[in-house]
Homo-oligomer: A and B are copies of this chain.
């Protein structure tokens, strides 16, 4: 599948994004966080474009050719490839925050189980963990980090609206879970976004362990 780029986007810029996405995908896949062709990843290319994983590919074997260009309405640009069904959740981040440049969505077992367990509460509250400080803007374990859990749906506009409603209520948002599904997180660059994802996976895992042990 070939990708034609608009004149304003140098090939080297698109390729840098595509390579960074493919590298992240291979490494997250090796940790088992992208089972069975699930998960999707993107990076901003410029003010009105992003690079995103093509739908249905196995994330453990991703290369530059598995990444496509879209505009911020989620429409393919210069390619016949089909972007992920959940593209609208990526473009929402890029449109809302000009300073955000990468979005990662994974499906680890911990993320999926936590989403089911906390779905009724609608939120996971993380408090008392030193690793909360890995989230940009969080400077002490004494703060409370809220990760909302939205109901799953196959209809993307519904999810986009729930994310928007949370933000419009003025609540901070670093990541969200979707019930029975997985997590979305983002950051100013790929390194920050991966640090967020790694910290959230760790903290959700700790919460699940502690819940099992405290019941003992």
Contact = CB atoms under 8 A, between A and B. Distances in A.
A179 interface: yes
Contact of A154 (B36, B113, B141, B198): B141
Contacts of A35: 131, 134, 198-199, 201-202
Contacts of A12: none
A214 B182 contact: no
A205 interface: yes
Contact of A152 (B58, B130, B213): B130
A109 B206 contact: yes
A181 B130 contact: yes
Interface of A: 35-38, 58, 107, 109, 112-113, 116-117, 128-131, 134, 139-141, 152, 154, 178-182, 191, 195-196, 198-199, 201-202, 205-206, 208-216
A136 to B, nearest CB: 11
Contacts of A213: 113, 117, 208, 211-212
Contacts of A181: 129-130, 141
Contacts of A107: 130-131, 202
Nearest to A182: B130
Given A134-B36, A211-B216, A215-B216, A109 B140 contact: no
Contacts of A209: 109, 113, 208
A195 B140 contact: no
B109 A195 contact: no
